[in-house]
Chains A and B, each alone.
Chain A
Amino acid sequence: MDLLAHLPALQVVVPMLSAPLIVLLQPRGLAWAGATASALVSFAIAVTLTLAVLDGQTLEYAMGGWPAPFGITLSVDALTALMLLIVTGASAIALLAAKPSIDQQIELERQPLFYSAWMLAMSGLVGIVVAADAFNIFVFMEISSLASYILIAGGPDRRALPAVFKYLMMGTIGATFYLIGVGLIYMMTGTLNMADMEARLGDVTDINPVLVAAGFITIGLALKAAVFPLHVWVPNAYTHAPHMVTVFLAACATKVALYVLIRFDYMIFQAALVDHQMQFALFAMPLAILGILVASAVAMFEGNLKRLLASSSIAQIGYILLGASFVSIAGLSASASHLFNHALAKGGLFLAVACLAYQYRDLRLSQLGGASKRMPWTCAAFVVCGLSLIGVPGTAGFISKWLLINAALQSGPWGWALVAIILVSSLMAVVYIWRIVEALYFQPPTEEGDVVAEAPLQLLIITGLVAILNIYFGLFPQVPLELANSAASLLWEGAQ
């Protein structure tokens, strides 16, 4: 077998094995280099896999050579590849930029452990994405969750501790709900492999346990994905985490849970639960709309920069869910492309926040006066990513907004109302982003406000790069769009 055939396994194994190795890299800076190298290798693997599945085929991998019903299988298709790109890309970019910020926030002797936890979180997330069986998803989910609890609590901010505790409670309940659902399905079908589940659920005579399972799985994953109103753990966890951890997690952690949710619903439940096709839409659409409106409104009045962006993340999760809840191929491809574009925009925003935090201890908007003078490049990158978040044409964010509005128009008689909601929430995004812009550019400067004191070059270059990517993928979105479209058609076929 050639190397390509083993790549799905290597995707998980590389970061997982590098985790214990990194612990051993005590000398100064080596742990960072090891973690970054591992993340870059993972990213390269993800890119290779993407190229392999771009034409619509699915790669299957049987662990240890055991075939599907007995062994553990991994599978990579277009949607998987898109998520792999997001997870490994976010991790690699965050790590490349991370060193100055991490050095500032975490003591040197604890850094190897920290980077090791980062690798575990990443391998868990990647594992969720490639796993083709429901129980392994649970295991990987808990690996990634436990590691991210450590990452979030690893910073100097003591308020992170109660925040993580809350996250741990809610995350564990979510995972356990998911486990209950999987157990019920196993009881009815005798399989954990997702493809087999889909095939056998059609033969199940008593549909009630499956409905209960669908409920448990949906709620459990919604908890992990921070779907409104199960999002309460997000603002504090993101706000008080070390800044680079926020970049990484905000870009991909909740999206992975959402990915599993969408996959379960479309691949397994939609097809199996005849006459219940609309359940997901009926359940998800109101939550998505409420999430978009409420979280955007909260963000409009939030005073802390990081918490504001965290609220906006909840709203953006709402967009992704909204697209999926249209139960149409157009909606799915809007969702899939928003997964990518939002990761790009929010990752860039949090990177810029990390740059700001390097110079400003207090990230309340009222304390950021004069930032545009001190850190002109950071602020420029922030504005570009902010525009992408709003969905201004010419940026990546616009592409998915356009797709989403188009999908809403096609979704039936209520389409116009949905379009109105999307547009209103875009305007709310203008408001909260512009509050930040005004604070950065027009607020009277604090004491040493006129001295240019940019963030370290390493951090700055990566931030600028992500800002440029936001524009690049706004003008040339062909590759992510192609992935999103074939992901959508895969899911759609699964639902038939």
Chain B
Amino acid sequence: MNLLELLGYFNYWVFAIILTVGLYAVINKNNLIKKLIGLSIFQSAVFLMYITMDKVEGGTAPIIQEGVEGQIFSNPLPQVLILTAIVVGVSTLALGLALVVRINECYGTIEENEILDAD
């Protein structure tokens, strides 16, 4: 695999890097909010993967115009899918934040090790 080919996959490289960054934050951070931020970053990586993979070289938005023939369209389906996934991600984040609020009420802290010590 030469350099050009590697660069040709650059969107997947970005995906992989963001994914790892997010996962690192989820595992390594002690603060629950930071963990949630990590989780969001982790999920955005997947959004990126879906959105970039539907691009067809030279393709445009898939809108059929009268009189224009022979156009190449990018695939719209992954974008639709990822819209749903984004909604799921937002709900998860909201629920996670609500949990953090409740944890803060009950334990008076949002640091994981302090919570573990409290019980």
Contact = CB atoms under 8 A, between A and B. Distances in A.
Contact of B102 (A146, A153, A186): A153
A138 B103 CA distance: 28
7 contacts: A146-B92, A161-B102, A162-B103, A172-B92, A173-B23, A175-B88, A183-B46
Contacts of A162: 103, 107, 112, 115-116, 119
A165 B39 contact: no
B78 A153 contact: no
Given A142-B91, A153-B102, A165-B99, 15 more contacts: A138-B88, A139-B84, A146-B95, A150-B95, A158-B107, A161-B106, A165-B32, A168-B99, A169-B39, A173-B42, A175-B88, A176-B46, A179-B85, A180-B49, A192-B81
Contacts of B50: 183
B108 to A, nearest CB: 11
B103 A161 contact: yes
Contacts of B100: 165
A183 B46 CA distance: 9
Contacts of B91: 142, 146
Contacts of B106: 158, 161
Interface string B58-89: 00000000000000000000100100110010
Given A169-B35, A180-B49, A186-B78, A164 B88 contact: no
A130 B35 CA distance: 33
A169 B112 CA distance: 13
A149 interface: yes
Contact of B88 (A139, A158, A161, A192): A139
Contact of A172 (B39, B49, B99, B107): B39
B26 A173 contact: yes
Interface string A299-314: 0000000000000000
Interface string A172-215: 11011001100100110000100000000000000000000000
A135 interface: yes
Contacts of B95: 146, 149-150, 168
Contacts of A168: 92, 95-96, 99
Contacts of B92: 142, 146, 168, 172
Q: What's the dominant secondary structure at chain A's contact region?
A: helix
Nearest to A169: B26
B116 to A, nearest CB: 7
B46 to A, nearest CB: 5
A192 B77 CA distance: 10
Interface of B: 23, 26, 32, 35, 39, 42-43, 46, 49-50, 53, 78, 81, 84-85, 88, 91-92, 95-96, 99-100, 102-103, 106-107, 112, 115-116, 119
A6 interface: no
A110 interface: no
B99 A149 contact: yes
Nearest to A153: B99
A175 B42 CA distance: 11
B103 A165 contact: yes
A28 interface: no
Given A142-B92, A149-B99, A153-B102, A172 B43 contact: yes
A53 to B, nearest CB: 29
A306 B116 CA distance: 19
Given A135-B81, A153-B99, A153-B102, A187 B88 contact: no
A146 B46 CA distance: 19
Contact of B99 (A139, A164, A175): A164
Contacts of A176: 42-43, 46
A165 B99 CA distance: 7
A159 interface: yes
A173 B35 CA distance: 12
A150 B91 CA distance: 12
A364 B25 CA distance: 36
Residue of B23, B99, B103 ringed by the most chain A CB atoms within 10 A: B99
A396 to B, nearest CB: 36
B24 to A, nearest CB: 12
A139 B82 CA distance: 11
A175 B85 CA distance: 10
Contact of B78 (A149, A161, A173, A183): A183
B88 A142 contact: yes
Given A138-B85, A139-B84, A158-B107, A165 B42 contact: no
B22 to A, nearest CB: 9
Interface in A129-155: 135, 138-139, 142, 146, 149-150, 153
Contacts of A149: 95, 99
Contacts of A139: 84, 88
A159 B99 contact: no
Nearest to A142: B88
B6 to A, nearest CB: 15
Nearest to B50: A183
A165 B96 contact: yes
Contacts of B39: 169, 172-173
A167 to B, nearest CB: 10
Contacts of A135: 81, 84
B32 to A, nearest CB: 6
A178 to B, nearest CB: 10
